[in-house]
């Protein structure tokens, strides 16, 4: 089988991965909300959003652990408890998310014998993150319309206890 020069050039173009990139579409301001919702539903489904925990105390809640807890949520039973707070993302769709914030820098420990509760700094409370895709609004070259660019953001979803890095 003989290939002519034109066939060889075409084959090399295919093999080299030359692909024309599709430029993101530009939307007028009044089209942005609908376009973002459509893209999020079709291409980037979002997890159900939790409610923020409110403006309660941000102190490590040792006193809650001194008594038998009946809390069903992991956030209130964890040895590294957390609350949920709303984080604003201007120029993004969705424009906010609810993320976890650790309430203790150490981890809650139970003292054997007397049943005492204390915060141990032999361990650290750290967030557990989940990567989520948001659409960032970016001005187009015409300076009158916007494109929606997907961006990954690490969203804190919980807290856990870990040994400190030594």
pLDDT single digits (tens) 93-115: 999 999 999 999 999 998 877 76
CA distances from 24 to 51, 137, 151 (A): 33, 11, 13
Of the chain, the percentage scoring pLDDT greater than 90 comes to 54
Lowest mean pLDDT among 3-7, 69-73, 86-90, 141-145: 3-7
Locate 74 and state its tokens. Answer: 């992991």
Domains of the chain: residue spans and CATH: 22-162 (2.10.90.10)
Eight-state DSSP code of residue 164: P
Locate 6 and state its tokens. Answer: 């034109």
Between the ranges 29-38, 55-64, 127-136, where is the mean pLDDT highest?
A: 127-136
Please tell me the pTM assigned to this model.
Answer: 0.73
Q: Exposure of 107 by Cβ count < 10 A (0-12 exposed, 13-18 middle, 19+ buried)?
A: buried
Lowest mean pLDDT among 5-19, 20-34, 52-66, 133-147: 5-19
Three-class DSSP category at 14: helix
Mean pLDDT value across residues 4-15: 60
Three-class DSSP category at 52: coil
Q: Exposure of 89 by Cβ count < 10 A (0-12 exposed, 13-18 middle, 19+ buried)?
A: middle
Per-residue pLDDT, 45: 87
Distance CA(86)–CA(53), nearest Å, equals 9
Eight-state DSSP code of residue 31: G
Eight-state DSSP code of residue 59: S
Determine the Cα angle at 54 with ends 50 and 55, to 5°: 150
Mean pLDDT value across residues 140-158: 95
Per-residue pLDDT, 63: 78
Per-residue pLDDT, 56: 63
């Amino acid at each position: 089988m003989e290939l002519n020069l034109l066939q060889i050039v075409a084959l090399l173009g295919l093999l080299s991965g030359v692909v024309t990139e599709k430029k993101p579409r530009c939307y007028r301001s009044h089209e942005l909300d609908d376009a973002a919702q459509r893209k999020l539903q079709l291409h980037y489904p979002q997890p159900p959003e939790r409610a923020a925990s409110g403006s309660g105390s941000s102190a490590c809640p040792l006193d809650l652990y001194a008594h038998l807890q009946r809390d069903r949520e992991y956030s209130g039973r964890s040895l590294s408890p957390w609350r949920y707070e709303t984080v604003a993302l201007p120029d993004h769709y969705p424009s906010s998310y609810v993320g976890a914030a650790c309430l203790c820098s150490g981890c809650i420990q139970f003292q054997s014998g007397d049943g005492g509760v204390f915060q141990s700094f032999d361990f650290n409370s750290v967030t557990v993150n989940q990567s989520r895709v948001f659409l960032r609004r970016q001005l187009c070259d015409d300076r009158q319309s916007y494109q929606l660019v997907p961006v990954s953001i690490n969203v804190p979803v919980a807290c856990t206890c870990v040994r400190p890095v030594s």
